[in-house]
Each structure stands twice: as structure tokens, then as C-alpha cells.
Chains A and B, each alone.
Chain A
Amino acid sequence: MSKKYDAIIIGGGHNGLTTGAYLAKAGLKTLILERRYLVGGATVSEELYPGFKYTVCSYVISMLRPEVIRELELPKYGLEILPLEGLFAPTADGDYLALWNDHSKTREEIKRHCLQDADAYDEFGLMLYHMAFAVKPILAMIPPDITSPTLSDLRNLGRLKKHIQQLGSEKFYMLSKLMTMSSADLLDEWFETDILKALFAFSSIIGTLNGPRSPGSAYVLLHHFMGEQDGQYGAWGFHKGGTGGLSQAIANAARHLGAEIRCNASVSDVISQNGRAAGVALDSGEEIYADIVVSSLDPRQTFLKLVDPKQLPGDFVDAIGNYKFRGSSGKVNLALDGLPEFTAMPDPSMLRANVELCISMDYLERAFDDAKYGNFSKQPFMDILIPSMFDPTMAPPGKHVMSIFVQYAPYELNGGWNDEQRDAFGDAVIDTLAEFAPNIKDLIVHRQVLTPWDMEREFGLTEGNIFHGELTLDQVFFFRPVPGWAKYRTPLRNYYLCGSGVHPGGGITSAPGRLAALEILKDLKK
């Protein structure tokens, strides 16, 4: 038997690192194992073309929990978030809508499209702020098992009840609707301007195989609004050096707190003894033992790949089998020889904002229609960021990198994904982009296209789902990942989950990682 640890964390993504850091902080001898050559999981920056650093998967930060920043003292270890300057969205008729961090500028801009919407925008922002405030404590709590609540669940339910009653009826009703309605219906209640609706609606579809008219999408909109920068809700930032810089900061914190991190260490199996997790076996054959094992991988990998499902209750295995992933997005990263020129953009400095090719509500919905029948969108939605505009370390002087998040690219593509389909998908993205920025094709010196299959293979994201499972009503809170097992524990004793597949779900929040650590420490009575 080799060296013995108190805890082994499988996977060095941002949640795995977070759990590792918290456990180390509590004095546990902790080992974090990462399959790839670098930590970060889907939160990485890589130089895939000499001199150009790509934010390969995730690219912006907003939802990182402030308590994690505080408790792990992340700024001390390199956390540095640069604010983004707003959103720029061209329309089909050559016009555009821009939303800035500067409120009065945004107001003027919306007024240009519709006077009433400028007022509605303020009210809507306030409403979302209230809703984010209403949901925040729910996201920060351990989901109670309402089918057979324990004493502490009842206490939590009591707290939840008190919280909801304090909200007052108006906000409670709004929240109830937001949880169940579609973003299109929500936005129709507030705004006239189609492009303004589309600019909100895109955040309601990210990471799901749903369209803006799908019930449940309003919640995803709220989920994305939950982020805060220095207490300002809905604000987005870019981590210096890309999101990989954030992973490095958490890893540094973990190391400083005493955790050991091993890269190039791929776990093949969780070793169990007498119905308890006792350690892990690596691909190399090496076995490492520990009192507890924590998986930051998604639920399918955690239960159906790392563990022999026969060790788990049949119902549980069935439920994990029914857990929906359905990756729906792709990523295109470009190394550019210069700056793209968007026909609709009056001033190139606006490239410091996110460019959103959301075009119209129908555009988004039609992009979804392609995907629901198993095709990638011929005219996809794109969330475009040029990190080198505000972080010169990302590209050589005068050159740029462009990160394009694309939807929809369904995992279950008709005929399946292959090299040819990947290229066709990449071409559809560039062709669509060229309609709005005609010079783009001349600027591309390198292009990386990630389909959901690539994301599964490279980053271990089952079916390419960036959230470790869809954020739909039947898969959040006490349903996540399956009812009865939403509290980070699993049917295999001493085996825990700490990734985005548990409450409160996906995004760079570190919230599942932190909550899992707190639950583990409770079990260990630390």
C-alpha cells in the first residue's frame, strides 16, 4: 500500500481545486489528481498556436462566489479580474444595440430604439437584481431532501420558508414565474425592441438544448445574471491571462494550504473496500489510498465509469442513466492577424465589449430548431470576446485572439460528429461571422474548433455539456443530480461529488466545490 491521504480529489477543475483547498485548509492531507498536463479542467488557457493564448473553453467570469474569493484569499494568489465593457449586438438590418457598464450611455442607446424600453430596462434590471437576491441564499444552501427530510433538512426548510416569506408576495410570485416560464414570455412582458429581448434571451439558452420559447429558459437567464463583481449583479469580467489564470490562483491557494496536486495522473477506478471508497487506481496501475474520495467529474463519469455500477443501488444507476447532459454548444478560437471590422460598429474601441450575434428572437429560436432535429445551427448564436483587447499578454503585439462560444451544436448530431462535420461547423460559424465582419476571413491565422464530442474527449465533459448536465427544472436544487442524492454524498460511503453536476450547478462559481467541502468536513466532524 502506497502513501495514504485523508482525501483524494479526482479532477483538477475549478471545483475540484476549490474542494481540495478547503479540505487542506481544514487540515486534511489532500491530493488532487488531474488527468491532463495542467490544472483547470474546462477553466484553462492554452497556447495552441505560438504566441496566442486561447481561453479554450470557458472565457468569462462573473459567478465566482465572493465567499470563496474571501475564504481562500484568492487575490493573494493571483486572482485578477478585468471588467468587460458591455455588450454589442448587431441586427440584421445593419443597426446595432449596445449596452454599456455606464448606465446613462446605455439609456441613451436604448432610447435610440424605443423610449419606453429605456425605462423598462431599469425596472427589469431592478427586478432581476431582486430575483438574484432572492435566489442567492437558495444557491448557497445544502438542498434538503424533501421526500424524507432529516432534522437538519427541516431546519433548512424552515430557513427557506422564512426567507421566502421575507421576500414578500410580489417577489415570491415573480420568482415562481421565473422558475417556470420561458424567457421569451418574460421579455415580451417587459420590452418592445426585438434586439433588446434577444440580447437578454441569449443568456437563457446557454448550456441547454432549449430555445428562448422553451419553458424553463427564464431560470437559466436568471442563473447567468446571478454573477456579481464587487457587489454589482450581472457584471462580467475577464480573468487576466484567461480563465486558466483563475484556476492557477485557486491551485496556488490549495498548494499553499498544503494540498498536493499531481497532473498527468488519470484515475481509472475508484477502489472500494467493504462498501466504502478507499482510494483510486491510476491508468498507470498505481494505487493511492485515502479515507475519502471526492469526484469533481460529472455524475455519469463519477458513477458509471469510475465505479462499478453494480456496487450502486439499481434505482440510483437508472436515475443517473436518465440524467440529461445534451451538450448543445461548441467553441471556436481564432488567432487573428488584426482586428475584425464589424460593419455595424461605429467605433472599433467597442471591441472591448462582448459582441453578441443574437440578431433577433426568431434568429435564436430558429438556431434552436436546427439543433432539436439533430443539426448544428446553420446560423448560430455566438458570444464573441477578443481578450487581447484588454489583456495584451494573450497575443503578440498588434495581433489578437478571438473566443467564440457557439450555440447550437448538438452532441447527438445526425450522422455523428467527425472531422468533416467539425470543419463544416467551423465554416458555418466563420461564414455567419463574415456577414457581420466581412474582413474576418483574411485575418485568421489559426482556428480551433471544439464540438461537443471534442469537449467530451478533451475535457471529460459528458456529451459536451458545459454544466455537467442541463440546468432544467427537473435537474436543479434537490433534483441535482438525482432526487435523494443532492447533498454531495453518494450511495458509496466515503465517496463524494463536488463538481457542477451537483447543486447549484454549472458555471465558474466554485459553489459546488465549496459546499461539498463543507459537507465532507461535517461528516468528518472537522
Chain B
Amino acid sequence: MKKYDAVIVGAGHNGLVAAAYLAKAGRKVLVIERRRFVGGAAVTEAFPDAPGFKFSACAEGAGRLHPQIVTDLQLQRHGLETLPVDPVTVSVLPDGSALPIWQDPGRTAREIARFSKADAARYPEFIGFIDKMGAAMTALITMTPPSLPKPERGDWLPLVKFGLKARRLGKKDFSNFLRIISMSARDMLAEWFESDVVRGALAASAVKNITLGPIEIGTSFWFLYRSIGSRNGCFRPSGFVKGGMGVLTGAMAAAARQIGVEIRTGSEVAEIMVKNGRATGVVLGDGQKFEATVVVSNADPRSTFFKLLDSAHLDPFFMRGVRSIKSRGSVARIHLALSDLPRLRSPISGMNGNNVGHFQISPDIDYLERAYDAAKYGGFARKPYLEVSIPTLMDQSLAPAGKHVMSINMQYAAYLLRKSDWDEQRSSLGETVLETLVEVMPNIRDVIEHMQVLTPLDLERAYGLTEGNPNHGEMTLDQFFYMRPVPGWARYKTPIKNMFLCGAGAHPGGGVTGIPGMKAAQAIQSSLRD
């Protein structure tokens, strides 16, 4: 039997990042992936019934990936190529008009002027403000949460560093930072903008992939979280990965393998072995065992503790915390294989005809809020908030010549339907999305060759995301920082010795940032050294 320093359960992007960093530090690492290929929720997949079309199934964009990881793992050498997305998005309105959000704040301001002169004047200042707030947020999420209420000796340095960074913001902006993370996106945006269109366009970023409406407290925090890694004044960094997200995780896997990581795909871990309160390795579904000094789970905390571990090994108080983690997925993903390019109802100024790679249906705050209401009562929105991308406009390799793919992020759709189930409602959800889309893209139905609808239940089944939550647990204030995944266990360790978490369920949370994987590797390294 082979003995590893670390065995990592799951080859999602965070699992791969953790593996690569550990291997770089000289550790012998094995990564075990259930599916036939690596990537987790950051994968490029093909339509089973429409050959030649490829799409990024769940995660899209690498704009928030920590730049250090790209450098350290030399991801570009392993095939990663990202293209800037510009406009970042276009808010398409019911009357056919549109507000493009460009990378360049000045250009966006000129677009905004069509809706409000005052808002146009404030926009560049707002972007500057969000840059500053985003920097403070970045400082917060790249530090390992201190042990609270009693910080350990090693906690003081990062805390002091954060304090100094915060101080550099100045008294007024630091107060603003604290205030803004505890308010709603609606209120934060209302302090800056008067136009419903502008507020609606920006608020989308505050609710994407979470189950809260923009009027709820904490959405402003999520807005800032999503602005990390923003460069050149764009509050919502994206970054299109050529070849789809699978190329990103493929590059990570290649980098990891090159420094000695062993990756086994098509192998499902059935159980994490525990002896005398210590993790000792894993058992696969076929009975194969792998022993290791530490076991690291890239799965979400609820899957990890309820499915991979025998509860006899776990403290009931801790398990109560795990049971209380809110997963609450409310995102559906719809992928379309298109015979031709669909056209927006009206041309967008400054763009090549009606072609636009990214757009959203998020006309105003109330629209988003009403879409959320449906999920509150266990249903799905009949007028949903949509984020639409046509990646083939940037990368024709994803479809046969002249054809296109479209990926749609649909919100809100409750994981738990009260009156029915998803196997029954799947097609109705797809139809609702098309009905919404056809309003702004009249010819969409004519060009669909194939359609795939992934409900929250499908996301859970296919990608192991508990309740279909893309962030491995809701990104709300009560599940952030020293409270993620559960209070007291935010430092990648778990109550089982030698067992760690490295996925989005750990600090700082979801999004393709690689930060949980990178920070977990640091925590594992220091525990292996002890």
C-alpha cells in the first residue's frame, strides 16, 4: 500500500490548487476525482446529443482567480488563455434599449448619461470607491480568519496587517467599508444613483448565485466580494477562458502533475478513514484504500461530513453547526446549442451589430426582488433574472463552424419545490427562460438545435453541490470569515485531526478564486511541519 503525504478528495479548482501548492512544497499528493475528468464545477462539457458544441457547465470566467496562483503554477504555460470581456455585461431592457457596462468607466458613464446625467457624473467616482472597498475586501479574504474570541499568537500579525491596510483607507472610508458590508445592495446603490436602470444593472452583481433579493442585508457585502480582483476600475471582473472553464482546470491539473501530483479520475471516494480521531486515508467505492498523513476534502462541508465520514467520529455540537449550514441553491443553468447567432431586438451602440457576448436581464431592483420572492415560497421565478453569455462570439472553437452556444444563469429557482419536483418541472423551467429571452431576442427559438436545463437538483446530482449551491454554502454574513463553514472552524482544520477542507465551503468562500485551495495548502503545510 502506497503512503501519501496528502490525499485530496475532489479535483475541483480548489482541490487542484491545494494539490499543486503542496507538491511544490515537496509533498507527495494524490487527488481523487469521481468524474472521468477534473474540474468539478469549472469544466467544459459537451452536449450528449449535439456533437461539436461545448460549454462551461457551471462556473464561467476566471476574472477573480488570485493572480498569485496564475504565476506560481505557471498556468499560462499549461494552456490557460483568458480574454477580457468588454462590455462586461449589457443590461437589456424590456423596451429594447440597453445599458452596456464597459471596462472603461468613462465610456460606461457616457452610456449612463442616456438614463441619468447625475448618475453618469457619479459613476467614475463610484468605481473609484468600489475599488477602494474592494481592496479592503481583498485584504480580508486573503487572510486566514483569526481564532476568535481568543486570537492565537500567530493571528495578531495578519490582524495588525489588516488594521494597517484599513487605516490607509482613512477614517471615513474605513467606516464606510464596515457600514457597507452590513447593508443591502439596494440601499448602497441608492446612495449613489437615482436611475432604476443603473441600479438594476449594478444590483445583479450583488445577487448573482446567492438566494437573497437585492433589498436584503448582506447583498452589498456580496457585491464587494465579487469585485475582488477588479482591475482597471471594473467592479465586476470577468475573464473569458478560451476553450471554456475546463481549460483552466486542465491547466491546473497539468501544472500539478508536472510537479509530481498524482491524479486519479473516475474514482469515487466512499469514506474517509478515521482512527483514534485522526484521518488516515480514504476508501474508494471499489474497496481500494489509500493511506495518507492528511486527508483534504474539496467537497462542500455538508457532503464531507455527512457522506464521507462516519458521524461516530464527530462531535454532536460541531455536527449541529454543519447541519445548520445554509446551502440553499437557487440557480439553474441552461445551455443552448444554436444553429445560428440569435439577435437582440435592437442594435447595441458601439458594438458589432446586435452581437453581444454577455448580457443580463435585470432591469430594476424590484424585478430582481420579485424573482427572489418566488424562491422564498418554494417555487421558481416566472420572470427570472438571467445572465446570458454567447462564448462562441469570443471562441469559435466551442461550436461547429458558423454555429453557436449560449449559457444562461437563471435565478431564482428553489432547490426544494413545495408543490412539485424538479424532474417534473425541468421543462417548465426551460420554457420560462425561453419566454423571458424571446422578449429581447425574438429569433431565439428558431435557432435552437439543442437545449440542456440544469435545475438546482441537477447541479447537485452532476456536480455534487449540496442543494445545487454553487458556493458550497450561501455567501451570507453569518457564513463568512470566522463563521465559515461553521464558527470556530474557519482555518481549514476540522475536529478530526489531519483532516482539512480546501473547497469553497471554507474561507473565504465561493467563486473561482483559488484562495481556499491556496490558503488550505498553507494551513496543511504548517500542520505537517509541526
Contact = CB atoms under 8 A, between A and B. Distances in A.
Interface stretch (A42-50, A164-172, A225-233): A164-172
Given A181-B476, A214-B217, A322-B191, A484 B183 contact: no
B200 to A, nearest CB: 15
A369 interface: yes
B217 A169 contact: no
Nearest to A318: B191
B373 A369 contact: yes
Contact of A479 (B179, B187, B191, B487): B179
Interface centre among B182, B191, B326, B476 (most CB of A within 10 A): B182
Secondary structure type dominating chain A contacts: helix
Given A181-B476, A216-B217, A176 B183 contact: no
B212 interface: yes
- Contact size class for A? 35 or more
B206 interface: no
Interface in B457-509: 476-478, 482-483, 487-488
Contact of A215 (B150, B191, B476, B483): B476
Contacts of B232: none
Interface string B203-216: 00000000010011
B175 A483 contact: yes
A474 B148 contact: no
Nearest to B320: A189
Contacts of A373: 366, 369-370
B377 interface: yes
B183 A473 contact: yes
B149 A474 contact: no
B310 to A, nearest CB: 24
Contacts, number: 93
A164 B483 CA distance: 16
Contact of B218 (A167, A168, A215, A365): A215
A215 B212 contact: yes
B376 interface: yes
Given A165-B149, A172-B148, A172-B149, A473 B478 contact: no
B149 A215 contact: no
A185 interface: yes
A213 B183 CA distance: 15
Contact of A483 (B179, B217, B366): B179
Contacts of B172: 147, 315
Interface in B127-157: 148-150
B488 A181 contact: no
Interface in B154-178: 171-172, 174-176, 178
A133 interface: no
Contact of A167 (B149, B175, B366): B149
Nearest to B180: A474
B324 interface: yes
B215 A372 contact: yes
A185 B326 contact: yes
Nearest to A484: B175
A308 B180 CA distance: 28
Nearest to B213: A372
A479 B176 CA distance: 10
Nearest to B173: A147
Contacts of A322: 187, 191
A163 to B, nearest CB: 10
A473 B217 contact: yes
Interface string A33-67: 00000000000000000000000000000000000
A196 to B, nearest CB: 18
A409 to B, nearest CB: 18
A215 B483 CA distance: 15
Interface string A333-347: 000000000000000
Contacts of A210: 217
Nearest to B172: A315
B160 to A, nearest CB: 15
Contacts of B191: 322
Nearest to B147: A169
Contacts of A148: 171
A147 B171 contact: yes
B179 A177 contact: no
6 contacts: A169-B487, A185-B478, A210-B217, A474-B180, A483-B176, A484-B175
Given A169-B149, A172-B487, 20 more contacts: A147-B175, A148-B171, A164-B149, A168-B149, A169-B488, A172-B149, A176-B482, A180-B476, A181-B476, A215-B212, A215-B477, A362-B377, A373-B369, A472-B183, A472-B217, A473-B182, A473-B217, A474-B180, A479-B178, A479-B179
7 A-B pairs with the lowest CB-CB distances in the bound complex, closest first: A173-B487, A483-B175, A473-B182, A181-B478, A180-B478, A180-B477, A474-B183
